[in-house]
């Protein structure tokens, strides 16, 4: 699934324009999410415990973005739902896991 991640035009536009909705947010390029999803140290939560519909959460590093990203994926068809720059507990867990 991780190497099959894809974005439809509407969802790609949604993540590319995050800063328009959330001041100070990072706009995300879909290609960055592919890097994060294939990061050998990525964390995959399937299903994401925060999802009410069974989406998958991927937390991984994107070299092009220069940061760790959280990517939400629909496991039915491997389509991207949303993505953002990782922070908080998810970022700590990623860093701690990578250092182990």
Q: Report the residue count for the chain.
A: 100
Q: Which residues pair with 44 in a beta bridge?
A: 58
pLDDT of residue 35: 97
DSSP string, 56-90: EEEEEEETTTTEEEEEEEETTTTEEEEEEE--HHH
pLDDT of residue 1: 54
Q: Could you say which residues of the chain have pLDDT below 70?
A: 1-3, 99-100
Q: Which helix (H) or strand (E) holds 43?
A: strand 43-45
Calpha distance 29→12 (Å, rounded): 8
Calpha distance 36→21 (Å, rounded): 23
């Amino acid at each position: 699934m991780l190497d099959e991640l894809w974005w439809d035009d509407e969802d790609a536009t949604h993540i590319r324009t995050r800063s328009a909705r959330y001041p100070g947010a990072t706009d995300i390029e879909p290609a960055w999410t592919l890097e994060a999803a294939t990061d050998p140290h990525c964390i995959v939560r399937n299903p994401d415990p925060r999802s009410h519909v069974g989406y998958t959460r991927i937390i991984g590093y994107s070299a092009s973005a220069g940061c760790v990203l959280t990517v939400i994926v629909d496991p039915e068809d491997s389509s991207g739902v949303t993505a953002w720059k990782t922070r908080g507990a998810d970022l700590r867990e990623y860093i701690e896991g990578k250092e182990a």
